[in-house]
Amino acid sequence: MNVRAALSGLLVIAATLPLGAGERITLKVSPAVAFAPANLIVRAMIVADPDNRAVEIIAESPDFYRSSMIQLEGERAARTSTFEFRSLPPGAYEVRANLIGANGEQRASIRYSVNVIASGAGDR
């Protein structure tokens, strides 16, 4: 129980650290800790830029992978893109956002950690 509390505290602290000025993309993931099967809401805030063409969001653990990509219309694109990953099984997840540019190059990337805990009702 103490390990869970410590992990939860560290994740909350990491999630509230300020980002540096000039970040092209920021990420908010909630919840940071959940019981399986978990639904994650991922919000990617993207700075307007004519070279922005797509944003890809990935939720990955050692036993699970899911991704989603949406096209962006440069500086006319919405500033916030919301993604939902449903029914994630237990595991330590890395949620990544990759901002893709006009030539297919990765312009920015950001990572966030999420812990999905087995509920004890047969999740494995």
Residue by residue, pLDDT tens for the chain (124 residues) are: 554 544 444 444 444 344 444 699 999 999 999 999 999 999 999 999 999 999 999 999 999 999 999 999 999 999 999 999 999 999 999 999 999 999 999 999 999 999 999 987 655 5
Q: What is the pLDDT of residue 74?
A: 92
Pair 42, 70: CB distance under 8 Å: no
Q: What is the pLDDT of residue 14?
A: 44
**What is the H or E stretch that residue 111 is in?**
strand 106-117
Nearest to 79 by CA among 104, 49, 100: 49
Q: Is residue 75 classed as helix, strand or coil in its secondary structure? A: helix
* CA 27/CA 95 separation, integer angstroms: 9
Domains of the chain: 2-117 (2.60.40.730)
User: Within a 10 A sphere around the Cβ of 116, how many other Cβ atoms?
Assistant: 23
Q: What is the pLDDT of residue 70?
A: 96
Query: Which two three-digit tokens encode residue 47?
Result: 């700075």
Q: What is the pLDDT of residue 121?
A: 63
User: Within a 10 A sphere around the Cβ of 42, how many other Cβ atoms?
Assistant: 22
* CA 78/CA 76 separation, integer angstroms: 7
Distance of CA 69 to the CA centre of its chain: 12
Distance of CA 121 to the CA centre of its chain: 26
* CA 21/CA 16 separation, integer angstroms: 15
